[in-house]
Amino acid sequence: MSRPILIAPSILSADFARLGDEVRAIGAAGADWVHFDVMDGHFVPNISIGPGVLKAIRPHTTLPIDVHLMIAPVDVYLDAFAQAGADRISVHVEAGPHIHRTVQRIRDLGCKAGVVLNPGTPAKMLDYLIDDVDMVVVMSVNPGFGGQSFITSQLRKIEAVRRMIDKTGREIHLQVDGGIDAETAPLAIAAGADVLVAGTATFRGGPGAYAGNIAAMRGPVGVAPAEPTPAA
């Protein structure tokens, strides 16, 4: 048994002057999801895009749109992003006072729910959440800016989260976000990731390079071996 490797290009690194074209281009180049980074200048030190932009790009792709909310408080914006066309919504465990309620609300809205762990956030934060989420996101950079370098200490966390996921016996994605390129992707995959977010590494070189960039990160086979599920 093996896990398919999914590539989710972050449009934070796309050409915003031609965002519809960029979204169509990554779809044609073999991307699996569109990753949509939302920053508020408060929870993270940058401001990016909101539900209006999501609504504008939704007609340009049939790929799942994977929304990463780096905002606080987060709960008041969940409905807006779901209504704008999100398929998946991931939130940081620190972004609201009641993360379990937030996850429940995302699922009630008809979206897949993810929780995000910052580099300084331990895997143990998942102890009472893992059974209620559809995805865990391990940040391999501190959130807020694109183009940062991969923090190698997060590989241990990826491994720990993979063990937690496998123990549940459920199909829960393990996404790694930050500093992913052709060199770091194999490290994240070997540690247990099955979804890779890549902005700079995807959009480097323009549309003609996107297919090659995505293929390089996915690897020669495009799957990672699945660890056997530990006995309960």
Catalytic residues: 37, 177
Q: Residue 147 annotated as binding? A: yes
Q: Residue 199 annotated as binding? A: yes
Q: What is the 3-state secondary structure (H, E, C) of the chain?
A: CEEECEEEEEHHHCCHHHHHHHHHHHHHCCCCCEEEEEEECCCCCCECCCHHHHHHHHHHCCCCEEEEEECCCCHHHHHHHHHHCCCEEEEECCCCCCHHHHHHHHHHCCCEEEEEECCCCCHHHHCCCHHHCCEEEEECCCCCCCCCCCCCCHHHHHHHHHHHHHHHCCCCEEEEECCCCCCCHHHHHHHCCCEEEECHHHHCCCHHHHHHHHHHHHCCCCEEECCCCCCC
Q: Residue 212 annotated as binding? A: no
Q: Residue 173 annotated as binding? A: no
Q: Residue 110 annotated as binding? A: no
Q: Residue 145 annotated as binding? A: yes
Q: Residue 146 annotated as binding? A: yes
Q: Residue 127 annotated as binding? A: no
Q: Residue 144 annotated as binding? A: yes
Q: Residue 37 annotated as binding? A: yes
Cβ-Cβ contacts under 8 Å for 89 (sequence gap 6 or more)? 67, 69, 78, 81, 82, 106, 109, 111, 112, 113, 114
Q: Residue 178 annotated as binding? A: yes
Q: Residue 177 annotated as binding? A: yes
Give the residue ranges of the annotated binding site: 10, 35, 37, 68, 144-147, 177-179, 199-200
Give the residue ranges of the annotated binding site for a divalent metal cation: 35, 37, 68, 177
Give the residue ranges of the annotated binding site for substrate: 10, 68, 144-147, 177-179, 199-200
